[in-house]
Structure 1
Amino acid sequence: MSERTSDEVRRLTDEAEIRRVVDGIDDAVDAKDWVLCRSYFTDEIYVDFTSLAGGEPGRMPSDDLVGAWRTNLYPEKPSFHMRTNHRIRIDGDRAEVVSKGHALNILRRGTGSDLWEVWGTYTHTLERAPDGWRCSGMTLAVVHARGNEKVREFVPDGQA
């Protein structure tokens, strides 16, 4: 195999693994598999969801991010996340993925409409670890959201 072919195989393999990590986060969240979800992240992550929820972007332990999702997306609150149009850029042991995403949350609690959904552009940063790629950053730029905000925010007593 030529060096050029070897480099191309490595790039394609890296892109497939990177896409698997980014999509795997969504699949694990919807399955409420928090151990699997956490396995996709570095120990600390940069998070910017300010276009969705305000606040300030910043670094946080990945355990805290996954813990917050676990609290907000408890078993009785179905969710559906999907991502498409991945644009992957690899620079050595670092990568960036820009993709379009959609998230749907459902809450059957008498809070009005039981649906909330958002569309946006996600930017994920990843780092190569000894055992594969891990997500080190997530940014969401909301394009459109609709539905009942209470669905996104509601956590029953005792869940927090």
Structure 2
Amino acid sequence: MNALTSTFAMTSAVAVGFFALSAAVANAFEPSEPITAETLLEVAEMTRIANAIDSAVDAKNWDVARSYFTDTIDVDFTSLVGGEPATIPADALIAGWSGNLSAEKTSFHLRGNHDVVFTSEDSAVMHSHGYAWNRMERGALEENGGNDLWEVWGTYEHSFVQTDAGWKVDGMTFNATAQRGNAFVRDTPGS
């Protein structure tokens, strides 16, 4: 495959992923509620928390990442890894992340289009779009797939509850709409 064909194939894959994401997002999000003077600070705080989780994960600051969750959390990453949604200790979620994203593997998470809907005075749901990549040099070895990068696009749903310590995440769902790259990088814990 020459460079032009390779570039065309990569551009086509991204375009297909974008259109799949657009179609999924159009069906995933309910109309948003207007932000009012009463909800402005709460919406800003929930947006900050969702972004801060990503930043803490990328920095491998697991204590900070853990601080944004309640003790128990409903998780659903089945669109990415199969299985069933589960209710687990937040410590187990962080242990899973830290085990997969150890020093050898770098990650980058980016989210946008945050949309918060209050479900009660003390609870809310945030929908957002997400993009992430993992990079691991070992993936570039021919026997490991020959590519050091894996990427994914999708939508997130974070459920929030108001606690004595402020807003905390008590549920997190990721709906993958497109991914590309080396599954070895995604699935292999760093050393």
1:57 aligns with 2:85: yes
- SS of corresponding position for 2:84: coil
Counterpart of 1:106 (choices 135, 141, 160) is: 135
Alignment of 1:1-160 (within 5 A): 8-90=36-118, 91-109=120-138, 110=141, 111=144, 112-156=146-190
Question: What is the alpha-carbon distance in structure 2 between the residues aligned to residue 151 and residue 10 of structure 1?
Answer: 44
Q: Which residue type is aligned with residue 58 of structure 1? A: A
| Cα distance in structure 2, aligned partners of 1:30 and 1:131 | 24
SS of alignment partner, residue 37 of structure 2: helix
Point out 4+ residue stretches in structure 1 off by more than 2 angstroms.
7-10
Structure 1 alignment gaps of length 5 or more: 1-6
> Secondary structure of the residue that 1:26 maps to in structure 2?
helix
In structure 2, what is the Cα distance between the partners aligned to 1:70 and 1:11?
34
Alpha-carbon offset, residue 127 of structure 1: 0.4
- How many percent identity over aligned positions? 47
SS at match of 2:39: helix
Q: Deviations over 1:69-99 (max 9, x none)?
A: 0000001211000100011112310010000
Q: TM-score of the superposition, structure 2-length normalised?
A: 0.76
TM superposition score normalised by structure 1:
0.91
* Structure 2 gaps, min length 5: 1-34
CA RMSD of aligned residues (A): 1.3
